[in-house]
Amino acid sequence: MTIAAADALSLAQGMLGDLHRLVEAIDLRAPRPERPGEARIARDAAELRARAVVLIEHIEATMRPSPNGD
């Protein structure tokens, strides 16, 4: 593995960790109906979570070794 490849792998692993923590934080978030704008906050959080999950899946697929060993 080249230095550039190792750096890219390290960066991808760091991003994965950050994205997983973001999803976890959103999942743990408790709605506060008394708060003005809560419906929009909840919608934005759901959209952010969905985008994070897509990025996680993309990064993990990119890091997965190909079936033919490339």
Q: Do residues 16 and 61 lie in contact, with contact meaning Cβ atoms separated by under 8 Å?
A: no
Residue 7 dihedral angles phi and psi, to the nearest 5°: -65, -40
Q: Dihedral, CA atoms, 9, 15, 17, 21, nearest 10 degrees? A: -170
Say if residue 64's pLDDT is above 90. Answer: no
**Mean pLDDT, the chain, integer:** 91
Of the pLDDT bands very low, low, confident and very high (cuts 50, 70, 90), residue 60 is: very high
Annotated domain spans of the chain: 3-63
DSSP character at residue 1: -
Say if residue 24's pLDDT is above 60. Answer: yes
Largest CA distance in the chain: 55
